[in-house]
Amino acid sequence: MSGLQPVRGTHDLLSEDQARHRMVVERARTVAGLYGFDEIATPVFEFTEVFARTLGDTSDIVTKEMYTFETKGGESVTLRPEGTAGVARAFISNGMAQNIPWKVFYNGPMFRHERPQKGRQRQFHQIGVELIGADSPQSDVEVIALASQTLAAMGIDSKITLELNSLGDAESRHAYRAALVDFFTLHEKDLSDDSRERLSKNPMRILDSKSEQDKAIVAEAPVFSDFLNEPSRDFFSEVKDGLSALHIGFVENPRLVRGLDYYCHTAFEFTTTALGAQGTVLAGGRYDGLIEQMGGPKTPGIGWAAGIERLALLDDSQVASQRPIAIIPVSGGETRQAQVICQTLRVAGIPCDIAFSGNLKRRLKRADKINARAAVLIGEDELRNNAVSVRDLDTGGQFETPIDGLAVALSDLV
C-alpha cells in the first residue's frame, strides 16, 4: 500500500511542525520588509535550461539531483532545486532592469533527489533574498546584516557563526583557477572519478567534494586569499569593516568557495554545530555574472537562502498561538444558537471551536484537548435570559454575561 504513504523524502507538516514553519517564514518576511525587500513567488518548475545554465553541468545538483521530466508538449521542465535561478529568470523575463536595485524576498518548496537527512528532505523549504543591480561592498553588508537580523529574530543567533571569504574579481579568479589546475594535476591519480572529470571542466568544484579521498588533497590546496589582486582586497576590506561597524561578528574561512564562474567577491555562510554534520544553516554570495550568463543585461547581484526545516530545528522556543474559546451547548437544543454565537465571535476576531456532540463532560474534555482559554456554556435557562455562562478554564471561575456583551467580556481572556 505504498500509495497511502508519503513518497520517500517528503513529509506532512502537521500541527506544531506547521506552526514552526509558518513562524520562520513570518519572522523572515517581517525582517526583510524592514530592509525594503518586496515578496515575490516564482513557479515551482521552470524550463530545465534555467537550472542547467545557472548551476553548471558538472554540479551534483544538475547531474544527480534534479527532478526533470518531459511535458506532454515535449518540453523539458524541472522542479526547482533552489531559488536564485528562478528569481534571476523573473528579473529578465519581466524587464526588471528598469527597476534596479531590485530587492526581493521569497519562500517556498525546493526539490532535490538526494539522500534524506536531518533538516533536509527531497522536498524541502527555503527562505531567501536577492538584491539585484547593486555592486558596492555596502550592498553585501546590507544583505549579510539582513541575514544576521533574521536569525536573531528567530532567537538562534547565539548558536550561529558567520563564516566569510572573498572570491575576488575575474582576474583573481583566473589566477586561482590556474593554480588549482596545476596543484590537482599533480594529484590527479589520487582524486575521485568525479573530481578527475571536474579538473578539466571546473576545478573549483573539487573544493566542494564530499569524497574522503578528495578532502585530504583539498586540505593542502592553495587558498583563494593568496591570489586576490588589490581591488579585490579593497572590496573585501570594506565588507569586513562594514560588518564590524554594525557589530556583526565573523570568522574568515579561506576554504569557503563557490564553484561557478559567475560568483565573485563575497561568499558567506552562517553555520552551527547544533545539527551534527549538517552545519550550514544559511548560505549566500555575490553573483555578478549570473544575469548576463542567462541572457540578460550585465547586472550585479547578491543573495542568500536558508532551509526552513533546519531553522525550525534550531529554534526550541514555544510556538505562540492564540488559544480558542470553546462554545459548548449544554444539550442538543442549543446547537443552532451556539453556532450563531460562535460566528459572531469569529467575525469579532475571537477564535472559537464548537463541541457539536457528546455530554457536557465530553465537551469540556474537548475544550481541554484544544487548550481552550475559556468555555462558553449555552443552556436553556441562560438563553431565556439572552445570556450565557463563561467558565475561565485556567482559574475555574465562572460568570454570566449577556450575549450582546460576550465579545467584550471575552476580550480580557484572549
pLDDT of amino acid 92: 96
Q: According to the model, what pLDDT value does residue 319 have?
A: 64
pLDDT for residue 278: 63
Cα distances from 200 to residues 184, 203, 261, 414, in angstroms, run: 10, 7, 14, 65
In the block, residue with C-alpha cell 522556543: 317
The pLDDT of residue 54: 78
**pLDDT for residue 226:** 92
pLDDT at site 363: 86
pLDDT in tens, 43-101: 999 999 998 877 766 566 666 788 999 999 999 999 999 999 999 999 999 999 999 99
Scan for cell 554540479, then name that residue. 59
DSSP labels, 259-326: -STT-EEEEEEEE-STTTT--EEEEEEE-TTHHHHTTS----EEEEEEEHHHHHHH--SPPP-PPPEE
Q: What is the pLDDT of residue 211?
A: 84
What is the dihedral sign for C-alpha 121, 19, 21, 281? Answer: negative
pTM across the whole model = 0.87
Please answer whether residues 239 and 141 qualify as being in contact, where contact means their C-beta atoms are separated by less than 8 angstroms.
Answer: yes
> What's residue 115's pLDDT?
85
The C-alpha cell 454575561 sits at: 401
Domains and CATH numbers, the chain: 2-169+229-314 (3.30.930.10), 325-410 (3.40.50.800)
Asked if the bond preceding 101 is cis, omega within 30° of 0, the reply is: yes
CB 227 within 8 A of CB 176: yes
- The b-or-e profile of 55-74 (16+ CB within 10 A means b, else e) is bbebbbbbeeebeeeeeeee
- Which segments in the chain show pLDDT lower than 50? 1
